[in-house]
Amino acid sequence: MPCDEPESDTGERDIPTAKHFLSYRPLTPRIVVPPSKKCLNRRGRAIARIMSSHDWKTQEIAYIFGVSDHTIRRMLVPKQDRVENDYDYADGEFRKMFPPMGTYKRVGSERAARSRGGSSTADPRPMHKKSRLTISDDESPSLQRGYVDHRPRPMFSDSLPLAEFLDKILGLGDLLELTTPAKLARFEDVGLTVKTLRTMSNWPERQLVLALRRLLSNTNSAQPSALDWFEISVLATYLSRIKHHEAPDTLAQSIHTAPSLEIFLSNVRGLDLSAHHSLFASRGLTLELLRARPDWEQLQLMLMKQIDSPEGAGLSPVELVALEMALR
């Protein structure tokens, strides 16, 4: 494989896998690194830069590695490393789960550039997203990332079968088995349609993962319809790739600024719940009462679908999750 200068590597270190990042789980330290040695070896630095190019914050990457935020920020300024070789050093799972999407460009003040006696070199890989490392006059690195995503977004209709959406549009067919009859039925039971998943792709990543966990995982993971946390994390990652950054803010409607209950329900975390306005009215749930943050358990029982409810009456599980988030 392509490699850097021999001095760029620093021996064996504890290295997280792609699953650590997908499940947001820190690695278990096993190797003791002397204070005089670098915390990350060449492979670790490659993984840190890959995750940074995928919009992971330095604090989040540091949490997975079990090192300081300062350590990660220093690793994002390549010195001896050739960043075009990063994916050759990282585990193959990173190329699959976090494919090349960006590059690094060192942008500094004239004074900082002169102090180094050299100029920055652009990464020769195709540019999809741009990350910029700004070096201030005191030469302490800080990360400022602006993204321009030029990848073509998949075009699809909300009437597309869910199985085809998961396997072909999201591209999960070769990675996970989410289209078994039991799992597809689980998606349907909680209200996760293609249209709803498209909307949820615009939710903040952490909220998206938590929502999917509540809707699709079970305490009894042996149930064939349940998704494990790894499957849910991968699903959330792939959903975020169809996010429309240029679309209007679907989360703009607020319980505190909405002029009426009907307008608030028309856009609850991007979902249209206005069809349930009469249900809220029949339960005496006014805008003022919802703003007062009533007990969620009682509110949920008042609004959730019941087994004997008429068709269309009651909120689906995903609608309840969206409403709970909007009322926080």
Residues 6+ positions from 194 with CB-CB distance below 8 Å: 156, 157, 158, 159, 160, 161, 162, 165
Mean pLDDT of 268-284: 93
> Given a cut of 50, is residue 140 above it in pLDDT?
no
pLDDT tens-digit profile of 181-215?
A: 999 999 999 999 999 999 999 998 888 988 999 99
Residue range 110-125: average pLDDT?
36
What pTM does this model have?
A: 0.57
Is the CB of residue 266 less than 8 Å from the CB of residue 322?
Answer: no
Mean pLDDT of 81-91: 88
**Arithmetic mean of pLDDT, 42-63:** 89
Confidence (pLDDT) at 263: 92
In total, the chain counts a number of residues equal to: 328
Is residue 221 over pLDDT 90?
Answer: no
C-alpha closest to that of 280 among 264, 303, 301, 257: 303
Helix (H) or strand (E) holding 88: helix 86-89
What tokens appear for 110 in the block?
């004239």
What's the average model confidence in pLDDT over 82-103? 82
Q: Where are the beta strands (DSSP E) in 137-223?
A: 141-145
pLDDT of residue 103: 45
pLDDT at residue 311, as a whole number: 58
- Between 247 and 262, the higher pLDDT residue: 262
How far apart are alpha carbons 265 and 44 in whole angstroms? 46
pLDDT at 252 over 90: no
Amino acid at 303: L
| pLDDT band at 121; cut points 50, 70, 90 | very low
Q: Binning pLDDT at 50, 70 and 90, where does residue 219 land?
A: low
What is the mean pLDDT of the segment spanning 64-77?
87
Residue 27: pLDDT above 50? yes
In this prediction, residues 94-114 reach a mean pLDDT of: 53
118: CB partners within 8 A, 6+ apart: none
First to last CA, the chain: 50
